[in-house]
Structure 1
């Protein structure tokens, strides 16, 4: 059997046996499409093929380190499956024992002033929202706007990923407990919470408008596009970016920035990092720890702005 012939079998295993999300399977598929070797699958040939493939990636200036690191991670999962299914006898540790260092970059989160422009953190009795409810039923543009606002509010308050948000159905929302059941990465389930009944009321109102506009369907996603179809990640990215532009936020706003913002806000408010890890669905706390650096960075900025030394010198 050729190396390339095993890729569809591996993807089928991920889908049927492991029940991985379509997002993960799509990512694996994209990374493994480069494995087009017609070589017979033997231990020596496979190890040599991996070494050459990774060398080509590392010397390709068009590939970012993060892309190479992800591709190697995919090869490790794929190779372990090859050993498990006895297509090869030994795991190619030498070929895959390469460490790709990533430049240390702090997550981009939104400033408080930017969040105030984007998020409708106002009283539930806001008359503007009541007017908007009526327009939603007839205007496609207003539907997109309302979907963008609710998406921003949910992601900022809970820190969920945009892919997770697209999979939420009305049945996943527990209004009494003010929580949402989430199907996260690796099919790991968790719960996220919103702090008060305001978000709950806005979710109810959005669902009622969807029902009036598109008909009742409990299996439909919580967020839908202007045609009544399940909102995709691309759709949410587009309408959030458009809404941010409308609100005169100069930076390009992405759903992941909202997730970063939620994590940073929670840590700055004093929430234990272990609880933030659980809320965000991180498998390792080292992933969550990056946000402590963001909080420290802002603390450093505030301390520099206060400049205690100057205050003391001026008051001698």
Structure 2
């Protein structure tokens, strides 16, 4: 068996048995394709050694356009793939155990949306966006207006719950418990959790959005919460695009992404004094170490606030 055939079997295993998300499978597929490109010699698994991996990493490290995080992700994919090959007895040993490769990623604080910027984003009244035009007794919608209405609700849910954009577009109507103000989420690694929205305002806006869905597309529509302008379930690419456009329309200089809103949710909660373990549960992090990076953001905000207050000046004003 050659490397290409083994890759296809591995991806099928990830889809059928592991039930990994399409996003994860596509990422695996892209990484393995890049790996195959670096193997210039015969690709039979009988010849698979750590040299294949070492030479691929060397080429990637020599590429100034490749980020360290991309190389590290590709290496992680290869390790998972090789472990599966060994378990399936397609190779004689787990050759990644002999690797001594370390990819260092520069520490970088997550980018979030500042409070004043968030106020501009949420200042738009959803009811104003839901206004329709009646022509000959039929309700007509402007495509851009629909995108703005969808973006406004998406921004609110992302910022209040901290869900990932892939989780957001997977939300079905039946996943929402309006009484408990909770949304059922199936996250990474098929881990289930429930996120909450803090008050009934969001619940009311979700119901209003679904009413707008029925007015525009009729009652026979998909049970996905978010729909694009054609009445189909929204994709993560669609949500990214309309949020970026929405932010530009309210004259934000910063390029806003769904992931930045997830970071913003975590930062706002920590700055408000919410226990980090609750934030971990809300975000769906398997390890609290992942959540701890947001404490650095909160500390940074704390330093800025202390500097603005300038306690020393207030204490020494009469000296």
Does the alignment reach a TM-score above 0.5? Answer: yes
Per-residue CA deviation, residues 219-238 of structure 1 (Å, 9 max, x unaligned), is 43110111001111111111
Q: Which moved more, 1:290-299 or 1:304-313?
A: 304-313
Name the residue aligned to 2:11: 11
Q: What SS class does the counterpart of residue 35 from structure 2 fall into?
A: coil
Gaps of 5+ in 1: 122-127
Q: Measure, in 1, the Cα distance between the counterparts of 2:98 and 2:203.
A: 51
Name the residue aligned to 1:277: 280
Per-residue CA deviation, residues 256-301 of structure 1 (Å, 9 max, x unaligned), is 1100000000011111111101100111111100000000001011
In the comparison of the two structures, how many residue pairs are matched?
Answer: 309
Tell whether 2:64 aligns with 1:67. Answer: no
Aligned pair in 2 of structure 1 residues 315, 223: CA closer, same or farther (>3 Å)?
Answer: same
User: For residues 1-316 of structure 1, what are the structure 2 equivalents within 5 Å?
Assistant: 1-36=1-36, 37=39, 38-42=42-46, 45-94=48-97, 96-120=99-123, 129-135=126-132, 137-217=140-220, 219-316=222-319
Give the deviation of 1:216 after TM superposition.
2.6
Name the residue aligned to 1:124: none
Indicate if the aligned counterparts of 1:145 and 1:239 stay in contact, CA closer than 8 A: yes
Q: What SS class does the counterpart of residue 314 from structure 1 fall into?
A: coil
TM-score (normalizing by structure 1): 0.93
Aligned pair in 2 of structure 1 residues 213, 96: CA closer, same or farther (>3 Å)?
Answer: farther
Per-residue CA deviation, residues 182-241 of structure 1 (Å, 9 max, x unaligned), is 111122111100001100010011011112211234643110111001111111111111
TM-score (normalizing by structure 2): 0.92
Indicate if the aligned counterparts of 1:50 and 1:95 stay in contact, CA closer than 8 A: no
Indicate if the aligned counterparts of 1:168 and 1:222 stay in contact, CA closer than 8 A: yes
Give the root-mean-square deviation of aligned CA atoms. Answer: 1.7
